[in-house]
């Protein structure tokens, strides 16, 4: 793994959360994107080399809506950048981690993504991601 790529934060409502994070971080949201396959809207902020991704569900039964219903708004995942996502998925699976995806899938911000099951990562949802070139 190369670095922490971003921290994902589940939020109920972009109309409240985007202005809040713009004020908190003293920077504008630089990108909003919908990932229809995941029923989620994303909003990105960057401060130095640190990126924050806000996640808002587009459906009442989406993964983010269910997460917020169970745990409330807050940190949803930590994403790590990798050079070769398929090789990293294989390495992690061989090391005993449970992957939530059999294959990488297209995520937001021009990335291929895969997630590790929190029961194998001390209850933290981990995303690995690779830039699509």
Q: Contact at 8 Å (CB) between 9 and 88?
A: no
**Residue closest to 1 by CA, chosen among 105, 116, 102:** 116
* pLDDT at residue 72 is higher than 90: yes
pTM: 0.94
Of 52, 35, 13, residue with least CA distance to 112:
35
Taking 90 as the threshold, does the pLDDT of residue 124 lie above it? yes
Q: Which residues pair with 44 in a beta bridge?
A: 31, 53
pLDDT (average), residues 59-77: 96
Q: Is the confidence at residue 133, as pLDDT, over 90?
A: no
At 30, give phi and psi (nearest 5°). -95, -10
Position 42 confidence tier, pLDDT thresholds 50, 70, 90: very high
pLDDT for the residue numbered 65: 97
Which residue do the tokens 């995520």 mark?
107
pLDDT of residue 44: 98
Q: Is 41 a residue whose pLDDT tops 90?
A: yes
Note the pLDDT of residue 1.
Answer: 86
């Amino acid at each position: 793994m190369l670095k922490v790529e971003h921290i994902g934060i589940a939020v109920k409502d972009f109309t409240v959360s985007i202005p809040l994070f713009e004020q908190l971080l003293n920077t504008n949201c630089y990108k909003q994107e919908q990932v229809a396959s995941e029923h989620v809207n994303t909003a990105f902020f960057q401060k130095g080399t640190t990126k924050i991704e806000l996640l808002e569900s587009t459906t009442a039964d989406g993964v983010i809506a269910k997460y917020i219903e169970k745990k409330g708004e807050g940190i949803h995942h930590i994403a790590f950048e990798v050079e070769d996502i398929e090789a990293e998925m294989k390495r992690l699976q061989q090391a005993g981690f449970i992957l939530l995806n059999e294959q990488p899938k297209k995520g937001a911000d021009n990335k291929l993504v895969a997630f590790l099951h929190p029961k194998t990562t001390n209850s933290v949802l981990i995303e690995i991601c690779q830039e699509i070139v």
